[in-house]
A and B are shown apart, each in its own frame.
Chain A
Amino acid sequence: MADLLVIEGLSVAFGGVQALNRVSLSVHEGEILSIIGPNGAGKTSLFNSITGAYLPNQGRLLFRDKEITGRKPHEIARLGIARSFQNLKPFAEMTVRENVLIGLERRFSYGLLATILRSTRFRDEELNHRKSAGELLEFVGLGRRSRQLARNLTYGEQKMLEIARALALKPTLLLLDEPVAGMNPTETGFVMELVRKVRGEGITVVIIEHDMKMVMGISDRICVLDRGELIATGDPDEIRRNPRVIEAYLGGGATPNAEKQTPNPEP
């Protein structure tokens, strides 16, 4: 499989704290890749570097063979990388539909004059965007909430809205930061199904997640970060058996009993 995103020797430091230390990994086109690791391992820093929020001290990021290191967030977004956040960040004072339209509207091709004159092309595009917004909201199960203000949605619904908004950018790479944190098992199941459907649409998905049931159940491959370093990569079975991973999660001394103390093995 071709590499969609290649990360080469990426280092990010804040003062004396090394958030990421020469991390190299590649994301294959069409896969679901999970990134796990203890709190503070640098998972979110990795996302922030990919989306242009952090400027890495060292290393390169290649997206579809083009270097994106140091590009501005909106440029990277337009190239096809979208993300959701660990903490909720929908535009609270806008309606659910408007939140999704923003992502779609970056792809409008008409200018200010056409908006004022309401040209035919403008109206056609607007109609198309409204239709796609409706479809996207239907896709994440928010079809009937489109006229509500985003702040009136439940926590789980707001998380789904974030995913819909990210999908509105029509990304080739979708980054999800703890999509099921705080969700109940039913909702988690729904998100897992959704992620599979997203991949089915040809979108590559990278997920940061602590919920091992989800990680083990959905991932093609898993990367493990610990204290800013990549300590393991492999499929769910390999990761479950990897002694370094077990040590990172359970601390030193746990290694001898590794086989018995694997983190939540799938039945």
Chain B
Amino acid sequence: MFLQHLLNGVTIGSSYALIALGYTLVYGVLKLINFAHGEIYMIGAYLGFILISLIPTLPPSLQGNVVLLLLCVMLLAALLCALYGYYLERICYKPLRNAPRLSPLISALGASLFLQNFVMITMGARDKIFPQLLKSATITLGGVSFTWLQVAIIASSLLLMAGLSLFINHTKFGTAIRAVSSDPYMAGLLGINVDSVISLTFMAGSFLAACAGVMIGVYYGTINFTLGYLGGIKAFTAAVLGGIGSVGGAMVGGLLLGIIEALGAGYFSSEYKDVYAFFILIGVLILKPSGLLGRKSHERA
């Protein structure tokens, strides 16, 4: 039974981790919590829904491989969401770059409300039901039952996270992101265009959040325009749990949060599912305020 809960936890946790990465990356370069990030995740889910609904209109010859189609949907939704992320930063944060720290925060809340209502008006307030494309049979292995979809979600999340790690640690773009996180002014003096690095960071975070949105949409089968609220808060919690600003921390925090939730729901009561994670968060913040993998923050003047 424990393994069963663990597996369910890892499935949902891997998507928390993907969203949490967006929070942590943006916090790294801007020292800003992008509270509209949850909405990007929600929009990703909706874009996935729209694209999946379009699949029956494709010529039959292209409809053969469902797995490949879903991957294309995820990729396309993620690319579109990267654009959302880019314009979100351009419109809501860039003009406030030198404003007091509270201003971009309020702008973030405004953007969040705007995006929620935008989706509600254009897509309707009711739940959207994802078409069942994958008739995935349940497989039971050593007392643990799972679907191939779960396996696919965990595998693609891990792949995306591995890709991000490579991107951050081994490309010049990643080095530039790390340089800006560490000292934006110095990075500028070394010829790094700080504005484009910030844009790039928003796009990378939104890309990952959209992937999570599509996966969660397909996994649960229904989505709603309020999806981004709780999803965003949970992922933010995951980022703080792991240590905000730390890429590894967001991954660990996301997975841990999912596992805690699943175990709590499994062994105690599923009605309090959302409480366990926050309970653990409070505990971690009391004992190690910088998060599990976070470094001691030294405030810069």
Residues on A facing B (Cβ under 8 Å): 51-53, 72-74, 77-78, 82-83, 85, 89, 91-94, 98, 101-103, 105-106, 108, 112, 115, 165, 168-169
**Which of B171, B173, B178, B189 sits near A73, CB closer than 8 Å?**
B189
Tell me the chain B residues, 137-195 only, with Cβ under 8 Å from chain A. Answer: 171-173, 175-176, 178-179, 182-183, 185-194
Q: Check if A106 sits within 8 Å of B182, measured CB to CB.
A: no
B190 cross-chain contacts in A, Cβ below 8 A: 74, 77, 82, 102-103, 106, 165, 168-169
Query: How close is B232's CB to chain A, nearest CB, in angstroms?
Result: 28
Contact status of A77 and B176, CB under 8 A, knowing A89-B183, A92-B182: no
Q: Check if A78 sits within 8 Å of B173, measured CB to CB.
A: no
Contact status of A91 and B191, CB under 8 A, knowing A53-B185, A73-B185, A112-B173: no
Q: Check if B185 sits within 8 Å of A102, measured CB to CB.
A: no
**Which of B172, B173, B193 sits near A74, CB closer than 8 Å?**
B193
**Which of A91, A165, A169 sits near B182, CB closer than 8 Å?**
A91
Name the residue of chain B whose CB is nearest to the CB of A175. B189
A83 cross-chain contacts in B, Cβ below 8 A: 189
Query: How close is A254's CB to chain B, nearest CB, in angstroms?
Result: 36
State A237–B186 Cα separation when bound (angstroms). 36
State A144–B188 Cα separation when bound (angstroms). 28
Q: Check if A78 sits within 8 Å of B189, measured CB to CB.
A: no
A51 cross-chain contacts in B, Cβ below 8 A: 189
Name the residue of chain B whose CB is nearest to the CB of A89. B186
B188 cross-chain contacts in A, Cβ below 8 A: 52, 72-74, 77
B194 cross-chain contacts in A, Cβ below 8 A: 74
Beyond the given A91-B179, A115-B173, A169-B190, could you list 15 further A-B residue pairs with CB under 8 A, ordered by the A residue number? A53-B185, A74-B188, A74-B190, A74-B191, A82-B189, A82-B190, A94-B178, A101-B172, A102-B175, A106-B191, A108-B172, A115-B171, A115-B172, A165-B190, A168-B190
Q: Check if A77 sits within 8 Å of B191, measured CB to CB.
A: yes
Q: Check if A102 sits within 8 Å of B192, measured CB to CB.
A: yes
Residues on B facing A (Cβ under 8 Å): 171-173, 175-176, 178-179, 182-183, 185-194, 295
A106 cross-chain contacts in B, Cβ below 8 A: 190-192
Query: How close is B180's CB to chain A, nearest CB, in angstroms?
Result: 10
Query: How close is B293's CB to chain A, nearest CB, in angstroms?
Result: 13
Main secondary structure of the interface of B (DSSP, over half): helix
B189 cross-chain contacts in A, Cβ below 8 A: 51, 53, 73-74, 77, 82-83
State A233–B179 Cα separation when bound (angstroms). 38
Q: Check if A169 sits within 8 Å of B178, measured CB to CB.
A: no
Name the residue of chain B whose CB is nearest to the CB of A169. B191
**Which of A105, A165, A168 sits near B175, CB closer than 8 Å?**
A105
Query: How close is A141's CB to chain B, nearest CB, in angstroms?
Result: 21
Name the residue of chain B whose CB is nearest to the CB of A73. B188
Query: How close is A53's CB to chain B, nearest CB, in angstroms?
Result: 7
A74 cross-chain contacts in B, Cβ below 8 A: 188-194
Query: How close is A93's CB to chain B, nearest CB, in angstroms?
Result: 6
State A94–B183 Cα separation when bound (angstroms). 12
A93 cross-chain contacts in B, Cβ below 8 A: 178, 182, 295
Q: Name the residue among A73, A94, A112 with the largest chain B CB count within 10 angstroms.
A: A73
| 20 A-B interface contacts by CB (under 8 A) | A73-B185, A74-B191, A74-B193, A77-B188, A82-B190, A83-B189, A85-B186, A91-B179, A91-B182, A91-B183, A102-B176, A102-B179, A102-B190, A102-B192, A103-B190, A105-B172, A105-B176, A106-B192, A112-B173, A165-B190
Query: How close is B291's CB to chain A, nearest CB, in angstroms?
Result: 16
Name the residue of chain A whose CB is nearest to the CB of B197. A74
Query: How close is A174's CB to chain B, nearest CB, in angstroms?
Result: 12
State A89–B183 Cα separation when bound (angstroms). 8
B178 cross-chain contacts in A, Cβ below 8 A: 91, 93-94
Query: How close is B296's CB to chain A, nearest CB, in angstroms?
Result: 12
Name the residue of chain B whose CB is nearest to the CB of A110. B172
Query: How close is A113's CB to chain B, nearest CB, in angstroms?
Result: 11
State A165–B175 Cα separation when bound (angstroms). 14
State A73–B191 Cα separation when bound (angstroms). 7
B179 cross-chain contacts in A, Cβ below 8 A: 91, 94, 102
Query: How close is B25's CB to chain A, nearest CB, in angstroms?
Result: 15
State A99–B112 Cα separation when bound (angstroms). 37
State A52–B186 Cα separation when bound (angstroms). 12
Name the residue of chain B whose CB is nearest to the CB of A108. B172
B175 cross-chain contacts in A, Cβ below 8 A: 94, 98, 101-102, 105
State A51–B188 Cα separation when bound (angstroms). 10
B192 cross-chain contacts in A, Cβ below 8 A: 74, 102, 106
A52 cross-chain contacts in B, Cβ below 8 A: 188
